Amino acid sequence: MSKGYLQNDVFSEVVALFCDMMRENVVLNCYTLPVVLKSCCKLLALREGEEVHCIAVKNGFISNTYVGTNLIELYSAGGRVACAYRAFTEMVDRNVVSWTAMINGYVANGDLVSARRLFDLAPERDIVLWNRMVTAYIELGDMMEAKRLFDMMQCKDLMSYNTMLNGYAKNGDVEGCERLFESMQEKNIFSWNGLIGAYAHGGRFLDVLDAFRRMLKETDVQPNDATLVNVLAACARLGVLDFGKWLHKYVEDNGYKGNVYVCNGLVDMYAKCGLVECAIDVFESMDKKDLISWNTIINALAVHGHGANALSIFSKMKNAGEEPDGITFIGILCACSHMGLVEEGLLHFHSMTDEYLIQPKIEHYGCVVDLLARGGLLEQAVEFIHSMPIKADSVIWTALLAASRIHKKVEFAELSLQKLLELDPSNPANYVMLSNVYGEAGKWEDRARLKVAMRDTGSKKVPGWSSIQTQDGVAEFYCFDERHSKTEEIYHALTGLTKLLRLSGFRTDLTELELET
DNA sequence: CTAGGGTTAG
């Protein structure tokens, strides 16, 4: 019965069952307590764990190796390393698993020195212990020491290699990862995921897709959910809709329809590629949804101008019993600010802090500034910035600047720019924005002078870019981009569309579309 | 029938 609960992650039931056993005076054997201790450990139920510890002493199970090892894990998980160590020293029979548990305890509590001391003292070091120690250095970012230990290992297995691959990936060494990957004789799905993860981590999304294609074409290794999630995210970032659609079919043909990770990836891929309707379809087809699913669809709707829909999904989320987190409110505030619902946005911001007790982060304050400023309440936005408990960063001033431009309030634009230049005087992006503001305000001479100054100092803004699938492949583009061979036609089409919008009553600004010569 | 190691989403 306990094992059934344990396997299904319902640890509280194991504890409840054990209470029943005690009440009914069932005689314990050596298999009983390890399961209960493990459940207490998973629940971080330290007090209950201590009671089980007492029961172990009273009933003569304290010398049992499994009991001792579980006690080490329990106390380590609860941050009580000293208690864990005491349990370790009091053990009669310590085997390599007990040593690993104690070393893990030190690692988990940030004491790598003690962990390493025990590692060097351990009477037996098997492959699991070696790998664990290597992982500890990787998690600390010490790839030199990780590599040193890895090279010392006599008994490396595939998992050791994969651990190192992921270490390189996590620490941003794509080349190191590639080199090790190519040197490996045997590769499984974790190896491929390590390589793909390194590319994803490094923003090399085309390489993600290439590696995935290579895996399918040249090996018998089958992708799993982790692979698909990374590949879908790469499609989302690149805007590669056709491959994304192919993946959707692959997912359906290979039994990943019920996989929350994969479906969340699909929803985001469709949203980022512009097909909100498909994103909604996938979302609604999911019978299991988690926090990420709700957040993904809310954000998708918000950024696609379906703010009202985003808000109604938010109520559905709460009705479904899902607790919103900080990311949820980013989507909600974004939806409100894009619909001009200043009052409602502020209400949500206050419910986030007062009702859900979520500590606002700088991005939430940024959303509120955006909400107020976009709504034309520039003065209030500045007041809000001054009332914030955190110092405003460049994102916040940029939001105020953008709104100042929309509402043609040059004095607020100048304030924002002044702050931006103070925060980051060497960032050429700030001068580009200053130049744009002057341009719009008709101060063409100032603008021209600034452009010359920027050219002379050689500062060049690194543009944020987007990309989209075209018939010829993936086209990458940024704001004011003039690199495409059909630039003239593209801007002509955009100008035409903008004029059409204007005819139907939209207030638009054509100056952004004027080609600079 | 019980303890230890690798990847994934907003």
DSSP of A290-356, one letter per residue?
Answer: -HHHHHHHHHHHHHTT-HHHHHHHHHHHHHTTPPP-HHHHHHHHHHHHHHT-HHHHHHHHHHHHHTS
Backbone angles phi, psi at A477, to 5 degrees: -155, 155
DSSP state of A475: E
Provide the pLDDT for residue A454.
58
How many beta carbons lie within 10 A of that of residue A278, not counting itself? 19
A139: CB within 7 A of chain B nucleic strand: no
- Tens of pLDDT along A322-371? 999 999 999 999 999 989 999 999 999 999 999 999 999 999 999 999 99
Closest CA to the C1' of B3: that residue is A66
> How high is the mean pLDDT of chain A?
89
- Asked if residue A457 has pLDDT above 60, the reply is no
Provide the pLDDT for residue A319.
93
Which nucleotide is nearest to A100 if distance is taken from CA to C1'? B4
- Report CA(A86)–C1'(B1) in Å, whole number: 28
Write out which nucleotides of chain B lie closer than 7 A to a protein Cβ. Answer: 1-10
pLDDT band with cut points at 50, 70 and 90 for residue A517 = very low
A98: CB within 7 A of chain B nucleic strand: yes
Closest CA to the C1' of B8: that residue is A226
Provide the pLDDT for residue A400.
92
Rounded to whole angstroms, the Cα distance separating A279 from A276 reads 5
Rounded to whole angstroms, the Cα distance separating A268 from A299 reads 9
What SS3 class is residue A220? coil
DSSP state of A512: G
- Report CA(A194)–C1'(B7) in Å, whole number: 6
Which nucleotide is nearest to A159 if distance is taken from CA to C1'? B6
Q: Which of A150-164, A187-201, A458-472 has the lowest mean pLDDT?
A: A458-472
pLDDT band with cut points at 50, 70 and 90 for residue A155 = confident
Question: Which tokens belong to A82?
Answer: 């000293």
Rounded to whole angstroms, the Cα distance separating A395 from A377 reads 18
Question: Which tokens belong to A69?
Answer: 């090892």
Rounded to whole angstroms, the Cα distance separating A212 from A214 reads 5
A46: CB within 7 A of chain B nucleic strand: no
- Asked if residue A209 has pLDDT above 60, the reply is yes
Closest CA to the C1' of B1: that residue is A31
Provide the pLDDT for residue A460.
55
Instruction: Collect all residues with Cβ–Cβ distance below 8 Å to A414 and sequence separation of at least 6.
Output: A437
A303: CB within 7 A of chain B nucleic strand: no
What is the C-alpha end-to-end distance of chain A, expressed in Å?
77
Provide the pLDDT for residue A476.
80
- Tens of pLDDT along A380-389? 999 999 999 9
Rounded to whole angstroms, the Cα distance separating A116 from A380 reads 55
Closest CA to the C1' of B9: that residue is A261
- Report CA(A159)–C1'(B6) in Å, whole number: 6
- Report CA(A327)–C1'(B6) in Å, whole number: 29
Provide the pLDDT for residue A515.
45
Structural contact between residues A188 and A223, judged by C-beta atoms closer than 8 angstroms: no
Structural contact between residues A331 and A298, judged by C-beta atoms closer than 8 angstroms: yes
Structural contact between residues A337 and A370, judged by C-beta atoms closer than 8 angstroms: yes
pLDDT-above-70 percentage for chain A: 92
Q: Cα separations (Å) of A163 from A179, A195, A248, A320?
A: 14, 11, 30, 38
- Report CA(A231)–C1'(B9) in Å, whole number: 11
DSSP result, A225-259: HHHHHHHHHHHHHHT-HHHHHHHHHHHHHTT-TT-
- Report CA(A298)–C1'(B7) in Å, whole number: 27
Which nucleotide is nearest to A158 if distance is taken from CA to C1'? B6
Which nucleotide is nearest to A227 if distance is taken from CA to C1'? B8
Rounded to whole angstroms, the Cα distance separating A219 from A205 reads 21
A296, A298, A301, A304: CA torsion to nearest 10: -70
Rounded to whole angstroms, the Cα distance separating A28 from A35 reads 12
- Report CA(A475)–C1'(B8) in Å, whole number: 27
Of chain A residues 384-443, which have a beta carbon within 7 Å of strand B? none
Which residue, among A397, A404, A335, has the nearest Cα to A376 in the 3D structure? A404
Which nucleotide is nearest to A32 if distance is taken from CA to C1'? B2
How many beta carbons lie within 10 A of that of residue A195, not counting itself? 27
- Report CA(A262)–C1'(B9) in Å, whole number: 7
Q: Which of A91-100, A251-260, A279-288, A459-468 has the lowest mean pLDDT?
A: A459-468
Amino acid at A319: N
Structural contact between residues A150 and A167, judged by C-beta atoms closer than 8 angstroms: no
Provide the pLDDT for residue A444.
61
Rounded to whole angstroms, the Cα distance separating A147 from A351 reads 49
Tokens 């999304």, located at residue: A205
- Tens of pLDDT along A400-433? 998 988 888 888 988 998 898 888 877 777 777 7
Question: According to DSSP H, which parts of A141-224 are helical?
Answer: 143-152, 158-170, 174-183, 189-201, 205-218
Cα angle for residues A472, A266, A190 (degrees, 5° grid)? 95
pLDDT band with cut points at 50, 70 and 90 for residue A259 = very high
- Asked if residue A487 has pLDDT above 90, the reply is no
A39: CB within 7 A of chain B nucleic strand: no
- Report CA(A169)–C1'(B2) in Å, whole number: 35
